[in-house]
Amino acid sequence: MTQYPTKIIAISFIFLAIAFVIRITGYLFGNNVALGMEAVHLIVDVAITFFILLTLKIISSNYTKKFSYGLFKLEDLISLALAILVAYTGIELFLSGYLSESKASIESGIFQAISIIPLFFAGKLKIIAGKRIKSPSLEADGKHTYTDFIEGAGVSAGLILTGIFNNYLFFIASILIAFIALLITAYSIGKESILSLLDLPKDKNISQKIRELGKNIKGIKDIKEIRIRWAGPVIFVEAIIEMDPFLSIDEAHPITEIFENEIKNNIEGVYSVTVHVEPVRRKNFKLLIPSKNNSITSNLDDRLAKSNYFAIVEIDDEIKYNFIENPFKEKSELAGLEFKQFLINYGITDIICKNVGEITFGLMLAYGIYCWQSNEDTIKNIVNKFLTGKVERLREPTKQSK
Ligand SMILES: [Zn+2]
């Protein structure tokens, strides 16, 4: 955890206090109402920063653990309020100009100009502190203080230039420039907070990044949907993934955990990840069934390796049967390497048999071929049972190798 930037915040308060003293002094000397208003504004600003710091304390306290999504959106709410405040500062700017018109003096302008120097530093420090603790609201507050600096610069330039040239047009020009700067800042603070409050995407690349992370994890067949919500400094991620339908919860859970950790380790600010698992819907199958003879009414052969025939059943929109003589029948044992090549060549996805040895079973597992167990029955009946989900999946070989 980063250390709480107490010092930085304290120094920014000192700068605000210095600015306040300068403005009050200027007000008392020149009796310029605008300077008085600007001084009061600073008191409000200090109060706002205190309020933000208090909110940050609440957000990070144990109390918020009661809520599933924390209270992070308070930060966005504050940022939005600050954006409105910055926009309002624009109105204040015009007001200051109006109130100072008759009393526009170089002297008040200089007081105002000096007062904005500490404001500049106060704003910068708050932005730094906000970035360090990843608090958007403290950062927005820093930007707000920084806009006070711009507003102050506009007013002081107006006062001084009007005083020198005795032409009020300078005042209007200075204020307009500052006003535009304020609106830009209000927009930049407000936009982020509104996106967050409305659960709209703040960064569209993150979803793509999460998809890439998922694609590299073995066991995840597809990523159907990624939902991301931003709240203050944190991100909540929900992912809907497709997995092998035959994985048990025991097998699937570690894979979702790997995915969760990948997301947390690679994407900054992720507070929690929820992964929903959906089974991949398989539509196409190519079955291999050991058969005693070469027709759909032939019975299943008890022996996988030594069966007379292999029934190769292709299932998509329709069912196609193909019977071939078992090329391995005469071999002393089911030659692993050749059998593997045979399965790959035929694109076999599932094997239905009565008995399967350790080696063959391991081979199928390694190549993602599903193994099912059926009692003796006709090939046609077995296929029908398979399609209606009435055959059991084998989770281990039926006989051990000697
Ligand atoms: Zn302010």
**Residue 333 has what pLDDT?**
61
Buried b (16+ CB within 10 A) or exposed e, 180-195: ebbeebbeebbebbee
pLDDT exceeds 60 at position 235: yes
Q: What distance in Å separates the CA atoms of residue 114 and residue 125, rounded to the nearest whole number?
A: 18
Which residue matches tokens 């089911």? 334
Cα(143) to ligand 1 centroid in Å equals 9
Mean pLDDT across the stretch 135-160?
86
pLDDT exceeds 90 at position 312: yes
Confidence of residue 221 (pLDDT cuts 50, 70, 90): confident
Provide, rounded to the nearest whole percent, the portion of the chain with pLDDT above 90: 29
Which residue matches tokens 């009061």? 40
Q: What is the mean pLDDT of the chain?
A: 85
pLDDT exceeds 80 at position 331: no
Neighbours of 352 (CB within 10 A): 24
Mean pLDDT across the stretch 147-152?
85
pLDDT exceeds 70 at position 377: yes
Cα(158) to ligand 1 centroid in Å equals 19
pLDDT exceeds 60 at position 47: yes
Indicate the range of 8-22, 231-245, 353-367 predicted with least confidence.
353-367
Cα(291) to ligand 1 centroid in Å equals 85
The C-alpha angle 313, 315, 321, rounded to 5 degrees, equals 30
pLDDT exceeds 50 at position 352: yes
DSSP secondary structure, 42-85, as one string: HHHHHHHHHHHHHHHHHHTSGGGGGSTTTTTHHHHHHHHHHHHH
Residue 286 β-bridge partners: 314
Neighbours of 384 (CB within 10 A): 14
Cα(150) to ligand 1 centroid in Å equals 10
What torsion do the CA atoms of 168, 174, 179, 185 make, to the nearest 10 degrees? -170
Confidence of residue 156 (pLDDT cuts 50, 70, 90): confident
If one compares 68 and 174, the residue with the highest pLDDT of the two is 68
DSSP state of 300: B
Confidence of residue 402 (pLDDT cuts 50, 70, 90): very low
Q: What distance in Å separates the CA atoms of residue 189 and residue 167, rounded to the nearest whole number?
A: 35
pTM score: 0.64
- Residues in contact with 346: Cβ distance below 8 Å, sequence separation at least 6, in sequence order: 286, 288, 312
Q: What distance in Å separates the CA atoms of residue 402 and residue 399, rounded to the nearest whole number?
A: 9
Mean pLDDT across the stretch 252-279?
90
Could you read off the pLDDT of 291-305 as tens digits, one per residue? 999 899 999 998 887
Cα(148) to ligand 1 centroid in Å equals 5
> Among 20-34, 181-195, 284-298, which range has the highest average pLDDT?
284-298
With CA atoms as reference, report the closest residue to 130 among 189, 89, 87: 189
With CA atoms as reference, report the closest residue to 138 among 75, 80, 77, 201: 75
DSSP state of 201: -
Mean pLDDT across the stretch 327-341?
73
Indicate the range of 68-82, 160-174, 228-242, 369-383 predicted with least confidence.
160-174
Measured between alpha carbons, how far is residue 35 from residues 107, 161, 184 in Å? 11, 17, 24
DSSP state of 376: S
Indicate the range of 35-39, 119-123, 211-215, 288-292 predicted with least confidence.
35-39
Cα(399) to ligand 1 centroid in Å equals 80
With CA atoms as reference, report the closest residue to 9 among 111, 132, 101: 132
Cα(36) to ligand 1 centroid in Å equals 14
With CA atoms as reference, report the closest residue to 371 among 354, 388, 390, 347: 354
Domains recognised in the chain with CATH numbers: 6-197 (1.20.1510.10), 205-279 (3.30.70.1350), 285-393 (3.30.420.130)
User: First CA to last CA across the chain, in angstroms?
Assistant: 57
**Residue 335 has what pLDDT?**
62
Cα(352) to ligand 1 centroid in Å equals 75
Could you read off the pLDDT of 102-129 as tens digits, one per residue? 555 778 888 889 999 999 999 999 999 9
Confidence of residue 1 (pLDDT cuts 50, 70, 90): very low
Cα(266) to ligand 1 centroid in Å equals 37
Cα(402) to ligand 1 centroid in Å equals 84
Cα(128) to ligand 1 centroid in Å equals 17
Helices marked H in 166-282 — which ranges? 169-197, 205-215, 249-266
DSSP state of 232: T
Residue 252, SS3?
helix
Cα(119) to ligand 1 centroid in Å equals 10
**Amino acid identity of 297?**
T
Q: What distance in Å separates the CA atoms of residue 91 and residue 37, rounded to the nearest whole number?
A: 12
